[in-house]
Amino acid sequence: MRIMAFDYGTKRIGIAVTDPLQIIATGLDTIHPTQIIEFLKKYLAAEPVERFILGEPKQMNNTPSQSAPHVKGFAGLLKKNFPQIPVEMMDERFTSKMASATIAQSGMGKKARQNKELVDNISAVILLQSWMEKTH
């Protein structure tokens, strides 16, 4: 079964998934928060997911960031709609910076680095890869 990670934002949610053997994390999509539950229902009808990983926004001093209440609300929405799938929080500090750096190193231009959907998607991949490295 797959593991799915979310980089939650109030405008976009970056989504990444593992392959069924949980070896590789890949960007899946970037979805508007109002469409996420419908998207997940369709996806989960076709692909089994064993766990959700949700980026936990923290300040440098380890306190919750301004977006923390939104992320908590999203975690509650996931638990309510998909009670059979555990939701695990993971520190997401630096994922957006790492995503921008990854895009820059890939040789893509400035326009790609400013593409917030791409940054959110890669942030979700980095979050999922970090979780896999920590747990496997």
Q: What is the pLDDT of residue 86?
A: 97
pLDDT in tens, 113-132: 566 776 777 888 888 988 88
Expressed as residue numbers, the domain containing 21 is 2-135
Give the contacts of 9 (CB within 8 A, at least 6 positions apart).
33, 67, 120
**What is the value of pTM for the model shown?**
0.80
pLDDT (tens place) for every residue of the chain, 136 residues total:
999 999 998 899 999 999 999 999 999 999 999 999 999 999 999 999 999 999 887 666 766 667 677 889 999 999 999 999 999 988 765 565 666 666 566 666 666 556 677 677 788 888 898 888 888 6
Which helix (H) or strand (E) covers residue 133, if one does? helix 116-135
Q: How many domains does the chain have?
A: 1
CA distances from 99 to 61, 79, 94, 112, 121 (A): 22, 27, 8, 11, 8
CATH label of the domain that carries residue 117: 3.30.420.140
**pLDDT value at residue 20:** 94
> How confident is the model at residue 74, as a pLDDT?
94
| Per-residue pLDDT, 52 | 98
